[in-house]
C-alpha cells in the first residue's frame, strides 16, 4: 500500500471520496455496537455459573479452622481465600487482606484513608498544601478518576514497551516530597497490553522517595489473564523485590477476580508488607467487621486451588483470543503500510491500544459513533481526559460477539483512513 503521506493531492482527494462512500454504507446499516469498556462477554460469565451450585442450604459453611462463614468476624478474610488469592498474586497469605467485590473500591479506600488518616503515622494528605501522583500514560481512566476526585494533582509519565519512563519517575519521586504515589498496571497494561520489564520492576523497588509515605499503587488486574499458553508475559514479583532492596513498605499491590468470575460479585485483595497491613487493619476495623466470607468460600470451593483457577483462565482465553486476533488481522489488512497509525498486539489483558496520527483520535471516535460503534472517549487514557497529542485510542475487543466485533473493526479502520487522509489534505492546503 502507498503511504498517505506520499500520495499527491489528487490521489488523496480520490481516496477521501471513495472512503466517504464506504462510510455512508455503514451509516445506512443502523449499527448499535458497544466497544466502550473492557467487559467480559456472556460466554465468559457463563464459565462461572457453577459457582452458584457449590453452596446451598445443605452444605457446611465452615472453614477448615472452624470459622462459620455465615457470621461476623475475620477482618482479613478466611485463610483458604488468602491462600488461593495469594497463589494467584504470588504472595504469602500473611501479606494479604481479602476485601469485597471490587479492587477499584479498595484503591479508592486506600487513597481515602491516606487523605484523612495518613499512612503509618505520617501527616494526612488532606492537611498538606499539595499532593501529587504520577500517572503513566496512556493509562487506566478509573485510576485517574480517583485521584482527580480527591483533588490530587496528576503528572503524566510517558510509557513504552518496558513500562514507565523510569528516569523521569526516579527524578521526580526523589526530589519532590509532595509526590505521594504512582498508578501502575504492570502486566498486560490498560490500555497498551504491555508488561513491565524485569529492569523496570527492579528500578521501582529501588526508588528513593523524598516522601516517607510515598506508595506504589500496583494494580495487577491482569496477572493471570493470558491469551496464549505458549506466549505469556512474565512479571517480577514487586513485594519480594522491594524487600530485597530494603524498601518493604513501598508497595500496595491490588488484584481481584472481577474478570475471572463475576465482575459484580468477585473478591478483591490487597497484598503488602506486614507494617502496611498493621496500619491498614487499625483503620479498617473501624469500617467493617469483615467482608463477605460466604462469597470467599464460594470462590475457594469452586476453584479448589490455583490449578483450578489456571484451567478456568484457559477457558477465558479460548473465548477472547479469536476476538483479539480478528481485530489485529483487520487492522493489519486495512492499515498496515499507510503510515497513519500503530497498534499493540498484546499477549494478554483486555485491550489493544491504537495510536493515531496526532490530532485525529477525537474525530475518529466521533465518526465511529455516528456510524453506530461506541468506543472509549478520546483522552480517557490521560489525566483530566486531556491527551495533548489527541492520538491514543483504547480498543476493547472482549464484549461484542465476534461477528459484530469484525464489523466494528472494519468500520474503525475506515474511520482511521478517512480522518487521516483529510488531515493530510488539510496540511496540503
Q: What digits encode the pLDDT tens for the residues 256-276?
A: 999 999 998 999 999 999 999
Residue-wise pLDDT for 287-314, tens only, equals: 999 999 999 999 999 999 999 999 999 9
C-alpha cell at 131: 499532593
Which distant-in-sequence residues (6+ apart) come within 8 Å of 95 by Cβ? 86, 239, 271, 272, 273, 274, 277
Confidence of residue 373 (pLDDT cuts 50, 70, 90): very high
Residue-wise pLDDT for 222-266, tens only, equals: 999 999 999 999 999 999 999 999 999 999 999 999 999 999 899
Using DSSP's 3-state secondary structure scheme, residue 372 falls into coil
Q: Assign residue 97 the CATH number of its domain.
A: 3.40.640.10
Residue 429, pLDDT above cutoff 80: no
Confidence of residue 167 (pLDDT cuts 50, 70, 90): very high
Mean pLDDT on 117-142: 98
Residue 363, pLDDT above cutoff 80: yes
Mean pLDDT on 215-222: 97
Say how far apart CA 412 and CA 408 lie, in whole Å: 6
- The predicted pLDDT at position 10 comes to 95
Q: What is the mean pLDDT of the chain?
A: 97
Q: Which domain holds residue 363?
A: 4-44+310-428
Residue-wise pLDDT for 396-408, tens only, equals: 999 999 999 999 9
Across 11-30, b (16+ Cβ under 10 Å) vs e yields ebeebbeebeeebeebeeee
Residue-wise pLDDT for 314-344, tens only, equals: 999 999 999 999 999 999 999 999 999 999 9
- Kindly state whether residues 178 and 296 are assigned to the same domain: yes
- Kindly state whether residues 216 and 115 are assigned to the same domain: yes
Residue-wise pLDDT for 180-199, tens only, equals: 999 999 999 999 999 999 99
Cα angle 71, 300, 234; round to 5: 135
The CA-based dihedral angle spanning residues 125, 113, 181, 163, taken in that order and rounded to the nearest 10 degrees: -160
In angstroms, the Cα distances linking 390 to 81, 381, 386, 418 are 43, 11, 8, 16
Q: pTM (2 decimals)? A: 0.97
- Kindly state whether residues 222 and 169 are assigned to the same domain: yes
Which distant-in-sequence residues (6+ apart) come within 8 Å of 247 by Cβ? 205, 206, 207
- The predicted pLDDT at position 36 comes to 87
Q: Are 313 and 87 in contact (CB under 8 A)?
A: no
Q: Can you spell out the DSSP letters for 60-80? A: --B-TT--BTTSS--TT--HH
Domain end position, chosen among 259, 274, 304: 304
Residue 1, pLDDT above cutoff 90: no
Residue-wise pLDDT for 21-74, tens only, equals: 999 999 999 999 988 889 999 999 999 999 999 999 999 999 999 999 999 999
C-alpha cell at 73: 468476624
Say how far apart CA 56 and CA 54 lie, in whole Å: 7
Q: Assign residue 19 the CATH number of its domain.
A: 3.90.1150.10
Based on the structure, what is the number of domains in the chain? 2
- The predicted pLDDT at position 37 comes to 87
- The predicted pLDDT at position 428 comes to 85
Looking at the DSSP bridge assignments, the partners of residue 393 are 354
Q: Does 385 fall in a domain?
A: yes
Domain end position, chosen among 269, 304, 339: 304
Please name which of 309, 285, 298 lies closest in space to residue 84, comparing C-alpha atoms.
Answer: 309
Q: Does 50 fall in a domain?
A: no
Amino acid at each position: 500500500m502507498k503511504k498517505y503521506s506520499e500520495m499527491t493531492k489528487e490521489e488523496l482527494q480520490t481516496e477521501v471520496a471513495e472512503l466517504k462512500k464506504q462510510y455512508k454504507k455503514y451509516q445506512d446499516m443502523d449499527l448499535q455496537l458497544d466497544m466502550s469498556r473492557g467487559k467480559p462477554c456472556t460466554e465468559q460469565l457463563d464459565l462461572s455459573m457453577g459457582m452458584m451450585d457449590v453452596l446451598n442450604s445443605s452444605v457446611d459453611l465452615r472453614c477448615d479452622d472452624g470459622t462459620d462463614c455465615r457470621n461476623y468476624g475475620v477482618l482479613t478474610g478466611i485463610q483458604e481465600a488468602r491462600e488461593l488469592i495469594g497463589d494467584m498474586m504470588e504472595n504469602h497469605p500473611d501479606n494479604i487482606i481479602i476485601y469485597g467485590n471490587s479492587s477499584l473500591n479498595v484503591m479508592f479506600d486506600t487513597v481515602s484513608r491516606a487523605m484523612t488518616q495518613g499512612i503509618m503515622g505520617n501527616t494526612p494528605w488532606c492537611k498538606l498544601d499539595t499532593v501529587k501522583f504520577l500517572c503513566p500514560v496512556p493509562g487506566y481512566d478509573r485510576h485517574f478518576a480517583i485521584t482527580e476526585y480527591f483533588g490530587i494533582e496528576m503528572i503524566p509519565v510517558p510509557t513504552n514497551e518496558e513500562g514507565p519512563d523510569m528516569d523521569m519517575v526516579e527524578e521526580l519521586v526523589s526530589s519532590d516530597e509532595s509526590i505521594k504515589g504512582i498508578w501502575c498496571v504492570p502486566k498486560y497494561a490498560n490500555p497498551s497490553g504491555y508488561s513491565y520489564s524485569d529492569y523496570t520492576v527492579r528500578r521501582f523497588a529501588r526508588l528513593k522517595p523524598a516522601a516517607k509515605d510515598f506508595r506504589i499503587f500496583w494494580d495487577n488486574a491482569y496477572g493471570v489473564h493470558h491469551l496464549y499458553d505458549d506466549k505469556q508475559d512474565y512479571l517480577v514479583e514487586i513485594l519480594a523485590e522491594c524487600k530485597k532492596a530494603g524498601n518493604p513498605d513501598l508497595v500496595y499491590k491490588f488484584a481481584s477476580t472481577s474478570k475471572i468470575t463475576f465482575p459484580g460479585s468477585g473478591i478483591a485483595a490487597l497484598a503488602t508488607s506486614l507494617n502496611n497491613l498493621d496500619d491498614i487493619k487499625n483503620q479498617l476495623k473501624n469500617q467493617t467487621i469483615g467482608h463477605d466470607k460466604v462469597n470467599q468460600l464460594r470462590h475457594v470451593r469452586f476453584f479448589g486451588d490455583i490449578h483450578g483457577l489456571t484451567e478456568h483462565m484457559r477457558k477465558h482465553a479460548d473465548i477472547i483470543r479469536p476476538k483479539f486476533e480478528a481485530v489485529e488481522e483487520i487492522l493489519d489488512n486495512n492499515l498496515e503500510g499507510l503510515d497513519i497509525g500503530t497498534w499493540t498486539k498484546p499477549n494478554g489483558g483486555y485491550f489493544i491500544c491504537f495510536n493515531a496520527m496526532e490530532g485525529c483520535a477525537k474525530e475518529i471516535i466521533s465518526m465511529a459513533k455516528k456510524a453506530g460503534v461506541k468506543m472509549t472517549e478520546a483522552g480517557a487514557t490521560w489525566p483530566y481526559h486531556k491527551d495533548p497529542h489527541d492520538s491514543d485510542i483504547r480498543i476493547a475487543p472482549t464484549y461484542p460477539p465476534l461477528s459484530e466485533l469484525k464489523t466494528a473493526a472494519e468500520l474503525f479502520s475506515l474511520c482511521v483512513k478517512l480522518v487521516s487522509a483529510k488531515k493530510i489534505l488539510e496540511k496540503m492546503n
